[in-house]
């Protein structure tokens, strides 16, 4: 842990954020990075289109896939809005929903992850194979991260996804 990390942790502690909230914020920042396909600091319709095109090219043919991806983005990310979403707006929106009703928020996140899981589970066997995992990373433009594959990764749908 660097001094900068400690300062950031202290600032969050001073703001009254619990350790759990700090972990959530760290994970939400990672999600934002994944969703910001063109890495311009905002999530826009362009990012949605890029993801739809990229995943469609990487997956087995599925006539409904492009529509499913678009619907997932509209429902879970844009939530009816067409405005660009900054990282701060993304974090504030999630934090507000989390603070309002944690149980409802957790249920919604589980639903969100289940829907995303189905987009990644190419062969519909209810597990994500190493190949599907790497395809998802490629879909998010993270090929460089996956170049170092030391061991096989199998993600099972029943796995506890600690948010």
Domain boundaries, the chain: 3-156
Alpha carbon distance 41, 86 (integer Å)? 6
Q: What is the pLDDT of residues 77-125, one digit of tens each?
A: 888 787 899 999 999 999 999 999 999 999 998 988 888 888 778 777 8
- Asked whether the whole model's pTM tops 0.85, one would answer no
d(CA 141, CA 37): 7
Classified by CATH at the fold level, domain 3-156 comes out as: Recoverin; domain 1 (1.10.238)
- Residue-wise pLDDT tens digits, 23-58: 889 989 988 988 898 889 999 999 888 887 777 777
């Amino acid at each position: 842990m660097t001094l900068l990390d400690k300062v950031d942790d202290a600032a969050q502690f001073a703001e009254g954020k619990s350790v759990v909230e700090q972990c959530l914020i760290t994970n939400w920042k990672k999600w934002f990075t994944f969703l910001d396909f063109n890495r311009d600091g905002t999530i826009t319709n362009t990012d949605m289109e890029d993801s739809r095109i990229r995943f469609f090219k990487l997956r087995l043919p599925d006539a409904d896939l492009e529509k499913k991806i678009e619907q997932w983005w509209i429902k879970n990310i844009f939530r009816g809005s067409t405005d660009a979403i900054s990282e701060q707006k993304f974090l504030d929106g999630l934090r507000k929903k989390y603070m309002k009703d944690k149980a409802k928020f957790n249920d919604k996140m589980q639903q969100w992850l289940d829907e995303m899981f189905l987009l990644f589970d190419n062969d519909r066997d209810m597990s994500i194979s190493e190949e599907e995992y790497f395809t998802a990373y490629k879909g998010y433009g993270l090929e460089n991260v996956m170049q170092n594959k030391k061991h096989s990764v199998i993600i099972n749908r029943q796995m506890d996804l600690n948010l």
